[in-house]
A = this chain, B = another copy of it.
């Protein structure tokens, strides 16, 4: 199990390295630069997302290096000077990384991570940082939607075979667990991250045996304390359920065991579950759970439960592991400022699309909590500002800057923490269980239910301190004049 030992330093877009070589050649004259990681749109038109992948990002940054084979490959491209390749040979990331805690509920356009580093260091990590954060944030967010739809019922990740290759299965299972699923079928994810693993039987088990009855009987004999029978290979109501009940009565119950569950994997799951429930109850098997799988997601689960489908456990595969209804998490990595001779200058991207204008400069992100402890808004300030909790705090809603608005009786939480300082890890990554619990804690205590709705959820505010807002406006005005 050598999975951990991979060197993924070469996961980057080529332009990271051509730009790095350009900066090296032209002798970059900055002390440091700051890049913000943020995203612009919640998946599935939801009210928030969940920040995943930080632990892997930190590992990647700490291990970033280029070995002889890598240098040889770069040399073969005939793009880079020998001096630069020699520089790469001794390269080590020496910057600082500030980030939200993994598992934080996040909102569009706030910097969930900021990298403050020498220019080349900050540039070449872009691609891998985004790939890891985009993937795990996507799946954690989707998994959480599915878990919320299941409304307290068990949800398990069955997605490996439809994942976008091995990493997507394994890190997807990790992210799904952060999002709240109760376990995974993916063994490598269980081994690597300690996620509870589970599984039942495949159709091939039933088809291998001469009859469905023999298949269930053989399974019950090997796993008497843990049997879940897959009942849809031939005919759920006329064959699958009757055979399951027969084996329960003939093999399990005489030994003091009970049939733990049956699984439906095709057909109309609500209809079949209702009839299966009735047949099981009639047979005195009220404790036998009904598990459903087959292209489930938050929408189908909501609909099945609305129709009263008595389903206890959901096995969720392709639509979770690919986030099928919205498979792209679009976090970006944008330069926010450059430091020359100790002084920071903000940078802004205007672009042809208004929605792509960035929030410039070094900044702090505060989450603003009401007296009841609910997260009511995010607040961007300049780095030196410390919002007062003692008196009404004047802020600006950048979409309605003419309004005079105040936070009253609120508390402010500084959301970014320094996790890597001068290239060394200064805060240990929390355990996976702690990350998962943190997600649940926030949703139960801090995040408005109105933001947890699937349809047209409340949009969380991203407000600004007056100083920060005026800095941004001044910068836009100066660029407008330059043209």
Contact in complex: A13, B185 (CB < 8 Å): yes
**Which stretch (A155-163, A244-252, A281-289, A438-446) binds chain B?**
A155-163
**Which stretch (A326-334, A370-378, A387-395) binds chain B?**
A326-334
Contact in complex: B11, A7 (CB < 8 Å): no
A236 at the interface (CB under 8 A from B): yes
A165 at the interface (CB under 8 A from B): yes
* Neighbouring B residues of A187 by C-beta, 8 Å: 10-14, 17, 73
Identical subunits present:
2
Contact in complex: B18, A166 (CB < 8 Å): no
Contact in complex: A188, B8 (CB < 8 Å): yes
Cα A271 to Cα B220 in complex, Å, equals: 67
Contact in complex: B25, A222 (CB < 8 Å): yes
Cα A1 to Cα B77 in complex, Å, equals: 17
Contact in complex: A199, B11 (CB < 8 Å): no
Contact in complex: A205, B22 (CB < 8 Å): yes
Contact in complex: B119, A208 (CB < 8 Å): yes
* Neighbouring B residues of A8 by C-beta, 8 Å: 3, 166, 188
* Neighbouring B residues of A188 by C-beta, 8 Å: 8, 10-12
Selected from B2, B226, B353, the residue in CB contact (under 8 A) with A266 is B353
A69 at the interface (CB under 8 A from B): yes
Contact in complex: B165, A203 (CB < 8 Å): no
Cα A16 to Cα B185 in complex, Å, equals: 10
Cα A236 to Cα B35 in complex, Å, equals: 23
**Which stretch (A89-97, A123-131, A424-432) binds chain B?**
A123-131
Contact in complex: A14, B197 (CB < 8 Å): yes
- Residue with the highest number of chain B CB atoms closer than 10 Å, among A221, A239, A322: A322
A-side interface size class: 35 or more
Q: Convert A134-154 into 0s and 1s, putting 1 for each residue whose CB lies closer than 8 angstroms to a CB of B.
A: 111011000000000000000
Cα A26 to Cα B23 in complex, Å, equals: 66
Selected from B132, B165, B197, B349, the residue in CB contact (under 8 A) with A135 is B165
Contact in complex: A347, B134 (CB < 8 Å): no
Cα A205 to Cα B208 in complex, Å, equals: 61
User: Which residues between 177 and 213 of chain A lie within 8 Å of chain B, taking CB atoms?
Assistant: 185-188, 190-191, 197-205, 207-208, 211
A338 at the interface (CB under 8 A from B): yes
Cα A198 to Cα B205 in complex, Å, equals: 48
Contact in complex: A198, B14 (CB < 8 Å): yes
Cα A161 to Cα B13 in complex, Å, equals: 8
User: Which residues between 315 and 333 of chain A lie within 8 Å of chain B, taking CB atoms?
Assistant: 318-319, 322-324, 327-330, 333
* Neighbouring B residues of A23 by C-beta, 8 Å: 208
Contact in complex: B18, A223 (CB < 8 Å): yes
- Knowing A13-B187, A318-B330, A328-B324 touch, does A161 contact B1 (C-beta < 8 A)? no
A483 at the interface (CB under 8 A from B): yes
Selected from B1, B5, B33, B333, the residue in CB contact (under 8 A) with A70 is B1
- Residue with the highest number of chain B CB atoms closer than 10 Å, among A3, A119, A202, A205: A202
**Which stretch (A106-114, A167-175, A303-311, A411-419) binds chain B?**
A167-175
A250 vs chain B, min Cβ distance (A): 17
Contact in complex: A186, B351 (CB < 8 Å): no
**Which stretch (A227-235, A396-404, A447-455, A457-465) binds chain B?**
A227-235
A380 at the interface (CB under 8 A from B): no
Selected from B67, B119, B349, the residue in CB contact (under 8 A) with A1 is B67
A362 vs chain B, min Cβ distance (A): 15
Contact in complex: B18, A352 (CB < 8 Å): no
Given contacts A12-B187, A14-B186, A232-B352, 19 further A-B contacts (CB under 8 A): A2-B2, A3-B8, A8-B188, A10-B187, A12-B188, A13-B199, A15-B185, A15-B199, A18-B199, A18-B201, A19-B202, A30-B208, A127-B160, A131-B166, A164-B164, A164-B327, A167-B167, A207-B348, A238-B483
